Structure 1
Amino acid sequence: MLPTGDPDWASVDIAVPRLPLRLPGISMAGFRQRAPAPVNIAMVAHPSVTLLIDLSDGEGLAYETDGRHGHGSVVAGLLPGGLRTGGQVGECLQIRLEPALATAVFGAPDLTGTVASLRDLWGHGAEQAENALRAAASWDERFTLATDFLARRLGARPEVDPEIAHTWRRTLTHRGRVQINALADEVGWSRKRLLARFRAQLGITPKRAARLIRFDHAAHLLATGHAPAAVAATTGYVDQPHLHREVKSFTGLTPSAVAVAPWLAIDRTTWPH
């Protein structure tokens, strides 16, 4: 079982790359807890595949979801359910990847709704990556090493269809407020083909992806103090009850509870939106 307790972000050092990464669609941040203490954080659904690399000594990172428990580095796909992470975490590297890239990096065609040990996906390569990152002298060196690991894996496997990658990025750019027919016309495919290929390669329908991306935008506005009614209007929900239903669908929480979620609180500092 995970311990109880939210993280004290004031005791956490956060590092982000000082220069843009050379891999578009991938972002990273490093965390170091100055005084290691047990934490328990609920992950909020995000429109990316999230890799948490455990760089701690001792027990390190722990996670649980749907009654399953694990330790060590973990990959959380789109919509990972009730995933909670924590334990005695000293240092951790968090990497977010666009789904189209994650398919190639992890060699899995569908990570939606899944939580998997990095060692199950990378085998011995996971331990090699962890050891190299743990031994690095600085976070800048770690970011460079992680970028190299990911670039090699991207080069070894084909990515998804360019049309699928384009559809995802257009949906992301427009924060979920897109029309499937218009996207199909952009890539020169029929609506039926786009729906089938998108789901086959990313494990989620374009409509569900658009809902997730729009929810993410709304959740971050809530976390920065915007009122639910204003957020609903800004993000294109019909009304405040519609926003409430969507937040409940993705998190099981109310908008007011999502607004103070620790997972989103640190996003304000670490992941510029």
Structure 2
Amino acid sequence: MTSTGAPPDWTTVDIAVPRRSDRLPGISMAGFRQRVPSPVDITMVAHPAVTLLIDLGEGDGIVYDTPGRHERGSVVIGLMPGELRAGGRVGDCLQIRLEPDVAAAALGASPELSGTIASFSDVWGRDAARVEDRLRAAASWDERFTIAADILGRRLDARSPVDPEVAHVWRQTLTSRGRARVDSLAGEVGWSRKRLWSRFGSQLGTSPKRAARLVRFDHAAHLLAAGHAAARVAAESGYVDQSHLHREVKAFTGLTPSAVAVAPWLAIDDIAWPASSPTRNPGTDSPRHRARELGAGGCHERQTAVRDHC
């Protein structure tokens, strides 16, 4: 997920990322530790992955609100949850992103999750509390990543994957940054447009066109956060014009492109998941975005300062 809000004052967040050996195809992880336990009020927006947030802090836990839905603690967030806010005091939190085809296999609930938020226990099952306890008791982020990778790997081995045609279309959608035509993708896998639409929707919980819009928006959002002008972002991301970009950004976030450009969580996103950022702005080493390698053990811990209004 990305966010359009942050704590109202300077807050230091330690970010840990796993070693390469703990990385699984279609799955990315990052650990977050809020070093100053001040209350958080974050508006989150869609990301082209099913997001698993495991709350490892002590106390009441993080609270999530969507229209008509309220959850606390560890949650699974579908591809397009609409308006979503997270609040409360954040301690340690493990965030896992699963690409839709992987989520469908690992969670077995991706279609039902599209556009929704659900508790971790509802999706994962009776072992959810045991997983949380193991992760919370781990001595380091390095150990937590290893545990999470092992658990997810075993679930993937035990479950049927999505159709290879569906996985191929998703992969091409991601690779093309949402610009591949649905008819062309259907032709690549030897399916009719109707069959692709049906199978893609039943297994991933969204349509190929909607998935393409989401991937294209995510690419544009990172370009905006990297400091590029909206007109250039529109052209590079495949939008008809700047007005088209504005409408899509508004539809996904409720914000203007200029507001998305300074969304604090995108700065953190660039550190925790640098592969999702199409470019890096040389000027990001500023008061808005400071990062330094702390170099500890097998995982890489990074410290980022983020401010709400810059």
TM-score (norm. length: structure 2): 0.84
Whole-Å Cα distance in 2 between the matches of residues 77 and 109 of structure 1? Answer: 7
Query: Structure 1 7/76 Cα, relative in aligned 2: closer, same or farther at 3 Å?
Result: farther
- 8 Å CA contact retained: 2:54, 2:74: yes
Once residues 221 and 98 of structure 2 are traced to their aligned partners in structure 1, the CA distance between those partners, rounded to angstroms, is 19
The count of aligned residue pairs is 270
| Counterpart secondary structure, 1:124 | coil
Deviates more, 1:44-53 or 1:107-116: 107-116
Residues 12-52 of structure 1: CA distance to partner in whole angstroms, max 9, x if unpaired? 11000122544200000000111211101111211000000
Percent identity, aligned pairs only, is 70
Q: 1:6 to 1:166 in 2, by over 3 A?
A: same
Task: Indicate the residue corresponding to 2:190 in structure 1.
Answer: 188
Q: Aligned to 1:189, what secondary structure does the other structure show?
A: coil
- C-alpha RMSD of matched pairs (Å): 1.5
Q: CA deviation at 1:123?
A: 2.7
The answer to whether residue 252 in structure 2 is matched with residue 250 in structure 1 is yes
Residues 52 and 94, structure 1, Cα contact 8 Å, conserved in 2:
yes
Structure 2 counterpart of 1:84: 85
Q: Name the residue aligned to 2:144.
A: 142
Distance (Å, rounded) in 2 between the aligned partners of 1:238 and 1:34: 43
| Stretches of 4+ aligned residues off by more than 6 angstroms | none
Map 1:229-248 → 2, pairs under 5 A = 229-248=231-250
The more displaced of 34-43 and 50-59 is 34-43
Q: Whole-Å Cα distance in 2 between the matches of residues 8 and 267 of structure 1?
A: 19
* Counterpart residue number, 1:153: 155
Cα distance in 1 for partners of 2:272, 2:9 equals: 15
What amino acid is aligned across from residue 87 of structure 1 in structure 2? G
Partner Cα distance (1:163, 1:263) in 2: 34
Match of 1:207 among 198, 205, 209: 209
Match of 2:171 among 161, 169, 172: 169
Q: Which residue in the other structure is 2:304 paired with?
A: none
| In 2: Cα distance, 1:176 partner to 1:52 partner | 26
CA distance in 1, matches of 2:48, 2:55: 22
Deviation of the 1:61 alpha carbon? 1.5
Which residue is 1:56 aligned to?
Answer: 57
Q: Unpaired runs of 5+ in structure 2? A: 277-310
Q: Is the 8 A contact 1:9 1:266 kept in 2?
A: no
CA shift for structure 1 position 200: 1.2
3-state SS, counterpart of residue 178 of structure 2: coil
2:11–2:34 contact (8 Å) kept in structure 1: no
1:55-102, CA deviations, whole angstroms, 9 ceiling, x for partnerless residues? Answer: 001112211111432211000001011111131111000000011111
Assess if the C-alpha contact under 8 Å between 1:7 and 1:41 holds in 2: no
Q: Distance in 1 between matches of 2:78 and 2:8?
A: 23
Query: The residue matched to 2:45 in structure 1 has which SS?
Result: coil
Q: Tell me the alpha carbon deviations over residues 237-260 of structure 1, each in whole angstroms, 9 at most, x when there is no partner.
A: 111000000101111111111112
> What TM-score does the superposition give when structure 1 sets the normalisation length?
0.95
Please name the residue that 1:65 is paired with: 66
More off after superposition, 81-90 vs 132-141: 81-90
